[in-house]
Structure 1
Amino acid sequence: MKKDVWELDEHYMSLVKDILEDERFKKLDNYIQHHNSTRMIHCISVSYASYQIAEKLHLDTRSIARAGLLHDLFYYDWRETKFNLGSHAFMHPRIALRNAEKITSLNEKEKDIILKHMWGFTLARPKYAESYIVSFVDDYEAVGEYFKSLLKKTLVKKILRR
């Protein structure tokens, strides 16, 4: 079976292997994130793209790779679950942080990355460049996943009409 680029990156894998092998992280593969990918695939995409940016900018690649994997570590369908205390955008980073702390110990930067990855939708401003990067990459990946799904549906309809 062909490996993805991120799986062939030895440095990246050395930073995140323990998380990728954890059964609690693997459970994310059971949840659809943005129409056409699982939450696990989404988290890996955000993590690896953020890691690559951090590497080019000589930032903290370990913290960004690990927190990028854990930023959406929650086990519910966000389209259906409603909260009394606030919106999904507000609540899920806190839930993800709590779940992440059950998997591994986190430094302050990793906690900030997870908690602030919804910056723009929430008012909590990130403290670190790495937190901004994950927030922007997460938005970019979400938009890409959505439009990929939309394009796929449009193409299928077009084919079926023929």
Structure 2
Amino acid sequence: MKNQSKSKHKSENGIPANREYEQCVKDLLDTRPVKMMKKFRHHHSVTCFDHCLNVSWYSFMVCRSLHLNYRAAARGGLLHDLFLYDWRTTTLSEGKHAFRHPKIALSNADKICTLNDIERDIIEKHMWPLTLRPPRYIESLVVCLVDKYCAVTEIISSSAKEASSITSKVLLGLKTLFD
């Protein structure tokens, strides 16, 4: 029997092709607020939805391999940035986005599903150490670290693509000069 957990292929709806993972998050993927995350750019060219999907998938995989609550990690990871606004242009009345969005995401997540204590902690503490209270559960720490990893990877990848595009344009411009 083929081990699907190592599959890097995506299903037609864009999520990793893994039945166990799909069972953890399918109900959330069908909600309007989660779908709305596709409208907001998060890290360069990566949407908020794609970022959350990355965090959710890798957190699921890490927690499953460590025999932790991988369902809570997948769900909390998917909902951790459910703030539903463009953080580059929106001014929050109660402070800066980096400090405030976990509470906003938690409030939005509460409106679409019933969260367990681990999922609540994941969403609320994913910005630690900016959130002064550290994660209470190992799964929360995993999602927090995976979130940082994904953000850095997405930013570097987007920056590399932009740099490559600029380099290509410069080289094309130089080629036209010498033709």
Q: Tell me if TM exceeds 0.5.
A: yes
Deviation at 1:104, TM superposition (A): 0.4
Larger radius of gyration: 2
- Partners of 2:157 and 2:16 lie apart in 1 by 23
1:43 aligned partner, one-letter code: C
Residues 89 and 122 in structure 1, CA contact (< 8 A), matched pair in contact too:
no
- 1:4 is matched with 10
Deviation at 1:122, TM superposition (A): 2.4
Residues 24 and 74 in structure 2, CA contact (< 8 A), matched pair in contact too:
yes
Q: Secondary structure at the match of 2:107?
A: helix
What is the root-mean-square deviation of aligned Cα atoms in Å? 1.5
In structure 1, which of residues 38, 41, 49 is the aligned counterpart of residue 47 of structure 2? Answer: 38
Q: Secondary structure at the match of 1:143?
A: helix
- Partners of 1:73 and 1:57 lie apart in 2 by 26
- 2:126 is matched with 117
In structure 1, which of residues 123, 127, 130 is the aligned counterpart of residue 136 of structure 2? Answer: 127
In structure 2, which of residues 155, 162, 169 is the aligned counterpart of residue 160 of structure 1? Answer: 169
- Partners of 1:45 and 1:125 lie apart in 2 by 22
- 2:94 matches 1:85: yes
- 2:23 matches 1:17: no
Residues 16 and 57 in structure 2, CA contact (< 8 A), matched pair in contact too:
no
How many residues align? The count is: 161
- Partners of 2:131 and 2:110 lie apart in 1 by 22
Deviations 1:124-147 (A, max 9, x none): 211000111111111111111111
- 2:62 matches 1:56: no
- Runs (5+) with no aligned partner, structure 2: 1-8, 172-179
Deviation at 1:90, TM superposition (A): 1.5
Higher relative contact order (CA 8 A, sep 6+): 1
- Give runs of ≥4 in structure 1 deviating > 6 Å: none
